[in-house]
Chains A and B, each alone.
Chain A
Amino acid sequence: MDDILSLLCTCVERGKVNRKSPHPADLRDHDGADELTKKAVEMGIAPQTILQDGLIRGMHTVGERFRNKQIFVPDMLMSARAMVSGMEHLKPFYISNAIQTKGTMIIGTVKGDLHDIGKKIVAMMITGAGWNVVDLGTDVPTDKFIQALKEHPNAVVGLSALLTTTMLNMEQTVAEIKKMSSTTKVIIGGAPVTKEFALKIGADAYSPDPQGAVEFLNALPARTN
């Protein structure tokens, strides 16, 4: 059991999606996260164990390497794709509650900003950490965040912005969210965002990288969706 989970973890770390995938070159013609997760399920390994000891463990390493500038966005995206390909096989167990998500995060890039990639990577990392993610996309107006929060009242909200000229729209969104629900946790991120800015606009947290967002979420008390 440990062998297959270690292999699965390696596939996520190195971005090996499936057998057909030519990347990485030294794993050509090997099973990827897709096949290995399927096999692990067929072997009867508990879905929660596959998630925790295979996929999440792999993504944790990826997050640390990204934080330390040992890998960059292309590698991160490949790892995230490997993780998502494995998660597909675990979906039925979420529905049957054999796997419990840790909670829900609503995430989006704020109004006026079309940048998607940073937010997408964070969303993938958070999914890979065992959270349910509601991705609202880019150029998201405040009322769309509010609507999503009504549908997922215990959710944490994540706001992203890439530009110094658009991050200011975070302030209004945070204010509206807090007005509706003062206990809702809001985390912000994106290239220009700083801890000081987060404090100024009343956000609960700031993270300079995806792994920081995962750590923030994992430190929160358990919550239902």
Chain B
Amino acid sequence: MNPVIEIGITAEEIEKRRLRVQKAKRFETPDRIPVIPAIAHRFLVPKTGIRFKDYYSDPETMLRAQLLSQKWLMENIRTDAHSITGAWVGAWTDFQNTFEAGSLGCEIHFFDDDIPWVGEGWIKTDSDLRKLEKMDFIHSGINAKQLLYREAMIAVAEKYPVRFLGGEIFYPGMNPNLTHTSDGPFGIAGDLMGQVEAFEAVIERPDFLRELLHIIIDKMIEYLDHCWKVEKLPVPKDFAWTDDLAMSLSAEQYRDVVLTEELRLRNHFDGYLSMHMCGKTDHLLKIFADELRINEYQGFGYQVDLDLVSEVMGGRVVLVGNVDPMLIYSGTPEEIRQATRTVIEKLGPKRGLIIQDGSNISPGTPLENINAMMEAAELYGRYE
């Protein structure tokens, strides 16, 4: 019998959190506004004592690190995170934002103590586009590795039983997700062409760029269909993407070059779409809400105008954000409570609010600062 990874949160509490978040996502009235700080790899993996080098080179180590880091998170961070099998916290073949470019001809650099990076872009000409079209996105590069890692995680899943206090034992490794949270078509185009080249193409070669985005979306649809239909993963129907790079386009440029292709992806699945974009995205909010019809705006930047996002999205798009992560890193707990209170007061009344940073907590952030968001929700975010 393998030792059980016991997570020091009761199963009853986990269920309460699940219902709280579910109500928020349905625009119902939970007991209080949920809080889910965004704490990712650079913060979490080092907490396990496992180096990134080992994390990325062995699927069993990756699985073990994920479970141990989530145990740490659940026991140290005040959060309404309630699942250890979801994509945000869970077992998955974790190749971050490299899986698209890394399966479409870009070299991926792995490091001893850091997450992987995408190397130089290679698409310059029409003949490069033809090469790209012919590539097997599902079975090459990082995606081929993902399939192997998934099999390997399933093979060792029974070695890693997990239990919440008073709950049933379960095995997160038995159905790990594949990385499928996309970087978004423009972000991928930036990887494949080079970011400067992609931005210049918006003006100088828009037809070339549109064709590249079209091919990228074809590949994404093919891949997500594979995840959904062949690997039997439930998530791709309700999926997420980010497109941070597109934040630097005007609304007209975004609509002209990116939106048509994002709509193809969105309409192909027509599920619950969670979108993330860092930075000041005020100029794109209406497009996201009215044309792309996103269901959730996750981890939106602290720079976004709260009155505007409330006006454009409040009551119809789930808002997950947007306390300044730099304040969380360097402010006092009281400053963070007050910043959280402002978000609650501006966005809470229309329901559909989950408090998060906007976006991504820095390694080294004091725990009492992170937990101040929950304290604020308890003080100012109760609906009852």
Contacts and interface: CB of A to CB of B under 8 A. Distances in A.
Interface stretch (A27-35, A96-104, A111-119): A111-119
A191 B278 contact: yes
A116 B326 contact: no
Contact of A165 (B43, B204, B253): B43
Interface in B51-68: none
A69 interface: yes
Contact of A196 (B301, B330, B359): B330
Contact of B361 (A74, A78, A164, A191): A164
B303 to A, nearest CB: 8
Contacts of A120: 196
- Considering residues A74, A81, A117, which has the most beta carbons from chain B within 10 angstroms of its beta carbon? A74
A196 B200 contact: no
A179 interface: no
Contacts of B253: 72, 74
B114 A78 contact: no
A71 B279 contact: no
A23 B363 contact: no
Nearest to A195: B326
Given A71-B250, A73-B249, A168-B362, A192 B325 contact: yes
A72 B330 contact: no
A217 to B, nearest CB: 23
Contacts of A165: 40, 42-43, 360, 362-363
A78 B362 contact: no
B329 A164 contact: yes
B124 interface: no
A75 B279 CA distance: 19
A74 B199 contact: yes
A164 B283 CA distance: 23
Nearest to A192: B326
Interface string B353-380: 0000001111110000000000000000
Given A114-B117, A117-B196, A168-B364, A72 B327 contact: no
A165 B115 CA distance: 11
Contacts of A112: 114
Contacts of B40: 165
Nearest to B302: A192
21 contacts: A15-B203, A21-B204, A73-B248, A73-B249, A74-B200, A74-B203, A75-B203, A78-B200, A78-B203, A116-B195, A117-B195, A117-B248, A163-B360, A164-B359, A164-B360, A165-B42, A165-B43, A165-B360, A167-B326, A168-B329, A194-B327
Interface residues of A, number: 30
Interface string A182-222: 00000000011110110010000000000000000000000
Nearest to A197: B326
A197 B301 CA distance: 17
A4 to B, nearest CB: 25
B130 to A, nearest CB: 23
Interface string A60-74: 000000000101111
A92 interface: no
Nearest to A70: B250
B324 interface: yes
B202 interface: yes
A72 B250 contact: yes
B199 A194 contact: no
- Considering residues A21, A81, A194, which has the most beta carbons from chain B within 10 angstroms of its beta carbon? A194
A71 B42 CA distance: 34
- A-B pairs with lowest CB-CB distance, top 9: A73-B248, A74-B202, A165-B42, A72-B250, A164-B362, A74-B199, A164-B360, A164-B325, A194-B326
B196 A116 contact: yes
